[in-house]
C-alpha cells in the first residue's frame, strides 16, 4: 500500500486529491483536525482511497474527525456554513470582484483584501500572498470576529483585523473591500480629501470621505484607526496606504471603490484645465443627500444641521497644484535662462 502524507494541510480539497497518484491501495495520512471538503470526500470515495490520522490504522474516511473535523475545534455548524451553497456563491462573488479590482489596476502584486460576513461571528475572507486576479473559491478562509482562522487551506489575509473592526462597529456592513486605487490613494498620501458637491453620483454613493491616521498595516492599532469614521462613512482614505469601503454586498463595496477613484481622477483632470470647479448648489445637493438617506447609505451630514452640505470654497491647491502658479514659475525660468544666454552671447 502506498502511503501519502498530507498532515501539513488543514483543509483537503478536491484539487489535493486530484494530485494523488492513481495507484490501487493508496492511503492518505491526515492531520488530526483536518477538514475534508464535500467534493474531496467524493473524489476519495470514487478512487477508493483510504484515510487515517497519524498513529491510527485503517480508514477514517467515514469518521467525523476526517469528514467534518474542525481547525482549532470549530463547531460542525461553522463547517457546514463554510461549505454551504450560500458560502459558495459568496466565494465566487469575491473571486469575480478580485478580478475586477486587478483589471482596474486597483491592486498590484498580492495587494488588497476582500471579506463577507456570512454569520453572526463568521467572516469569509481572501487569503494572504495571492493576486486578486488568481483567486479561486477554494482559496477562501473562514475567520471569527477576533481574527482566528477557523477553516481554509491558505492563511487568511494579514489585514483582516481592519475588516473585523468595521463589522463590529457597523452591524449593517456585510462586505468590506480594501485596495489601493491610484487616484484615491494619491489623496490619501497627501492628507487631503476630495471636495463635495461636484458630481451627483459621487454625492449619492460616497459623499464626504474621512481620512484615518497612518499605522502599520496588519496591526490591531491600524485596524482601530477607522473606528471613529465607519459609522458615518462607507469609504475611508487610509493615510499613506489606500482606501477601505464597506457595503451590503461584495459587489456594492467594490462599486464604491470605482466611484471614489473615478471621482478623484476626474478632479485631477479638471485641475489641469486651470479653471475653478463649478459646484452643485446647496439646495440641489440637499436633494441628492435626501436620495442617499433613502438608500440607507451613511453620511455625516444626515440629521446634522451644523454640518455643511457642501465644502465651499475649496482652498487653493486643494485638488492639485495651482496651474497659474506653475505657468508663471515656468515663464520666469524661461526668461532667466534666455537672459543668461543672451548675456553670454554679448560677451563674445
Arithmetic mean of pLDDT over the chain: 86
Average pLDDT over residues 98-112: 97
Any idea which of 103-107, 112-116, 263-267, 341-345 has the lowest mean pLDDT?
A: 341-345
- Going through the chain in order, the beta strands assigned E by DSSP cover 3-5, 11-12, 27-29, 35-36, 50-52, 113-117, 122-125, 141-144, 149-151, 175-179, 210-212, 235-238, 242-247
Taking residues 8-13, what's their average pLDDT?
A: 83
Residue 169 is a catalytic residue: no
Grid cell digits, residue 26? 493508496
Q: How confident is the model at residue 112 (pLDDT cuts 50, 70, 90)?
A: very high
User: Quick check: 269 pLDDT over 80?
Assistant: yes
Q: How much is the pTM?
A: 0.72
pLDDT over threshold 60, residue 60: no
Burial of 212 (0-12, 13-18, 19+ CB in 10 A): buried
The candidate with the shortest Cα–Cα distance to 294, out of 305, 302, 285, 284, is 302
pLDDT, residue 38, reads: 59
Set of cell numbers at residue 99 = 478580478
Place 17 in a pLDDT band, splitting at 50, 70 and 90.
confident
In the predicted structure, residue 322 carries a pLDDT above the cut 50:
no
pLDDT of 312: 57
Catalytic position from the list 159, 165, 203, 254: 159
209 pLDDT band (50/70/90 cuts)?
very high
CA-derived radius of gyration, the chain: 27
- Architecture in CATH for domain 82-294: 3-Layer(aba) Sandwich (3.40)
Can you say whether the dihedral through the CA atoms of 311, 312, 315, 319 is positive or negative? positive
Amino acid at each position: 500500500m502506498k502511503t501519502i502524507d498530507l498532515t501539513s494541510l488543514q483543509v483537503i480539497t478536491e484539487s489535493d486529491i486530484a494530485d494523488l497518484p492513481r495507484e490501487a491501495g493508496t492511503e492518505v495520512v491526515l492531520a488530526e483536525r483536518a477538514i475534508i471538503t464535500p467534493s474531496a470526500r467524493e473524489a476519495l470515495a470514487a478512487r477508493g482511497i483510504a484515510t487515517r490520522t497519524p498513529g491510527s490504522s485503517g480508514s477514517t474516511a467515514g469518521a467525523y474527525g476526517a469528514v467534518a473535523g474542525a481547525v482549532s475545534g470549530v463547531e460542525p455548524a461553522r463547517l457546514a456554513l463554510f461549505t454551504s451553497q450560500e458560502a459558495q456563491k459568496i466565494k465566487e462573488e469575491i473571486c469575480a470582484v478580485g478580478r475586477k479590482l486587478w483589471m482596474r489596476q486597483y491592486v498590484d502584486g498580492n495587494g488588497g483584501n476582500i471579506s463577507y460576513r456570512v454569520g453572526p461571528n463568521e467572516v469569509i475572507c481572501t487569503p494572504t500572498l495571492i493576486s486578486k486576479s488568481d483567486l479561486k473559491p477554494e482559496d477562501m478562509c473562514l475567520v471569527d470576529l477576533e481574527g482566528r482562522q477557523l477553516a481554509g487551506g491558505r492563511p487568511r489575509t494579514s489585514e483582516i483585523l481592519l475588516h473585523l473592526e468595521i463589522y463590529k462597529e457597523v452591524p449593517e456592513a456585510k462586505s468590506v473591500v480594501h485596495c489601493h486605487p491610484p487616484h484615491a490613494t494619491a489623496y490619501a498620501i497627501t492628507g487631503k480629501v476630495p471636495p463635495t458637491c461636484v458630481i451627483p453620483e459621487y454625492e449619492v454613493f460616497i459623499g464626504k470621505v474621512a481620512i484615518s491616521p497612518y499605522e502599520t498595516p496588519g496591526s490591531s492599532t491600524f485596524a482601530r484607526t477607522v473606528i471613529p469614521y465607519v459609522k458615518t462613512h462607507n469609504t475611508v482614505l487610509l493615510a499613506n496606504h489606500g482606501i477601505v469601503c464597506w457595503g451590503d454586498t461584495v459587489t456594492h463595496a467594490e462599486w464604491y471603490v470605482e466611484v471614489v477613484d473615478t471621482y478623484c481622477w476626474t478632479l485631477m483632470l479638471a485641475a489641469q484645465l486651470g479653471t475653478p470647479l463649478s459646484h452643485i448648489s446647496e439646495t440641489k445637493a440637499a436633494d441628492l443627500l435626501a436620495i442617499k438617506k433613502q438608500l440607507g447609505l451613511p453620511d455625516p451630514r444626515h440629521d446634522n444641521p451644523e454640518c455643511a452640505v457642501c465644502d465651499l470654497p475649496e482652498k487653493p491647491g486643494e485638488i492639485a497644484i495651482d496651474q497659474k502658479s506653475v505657468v508663471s514659475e515656468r515663464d520666469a525660468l524661461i526668461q532667466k535662462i534666455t537672459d543668461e544666454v543672451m548675456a553670454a552671447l554679448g560677451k563674445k
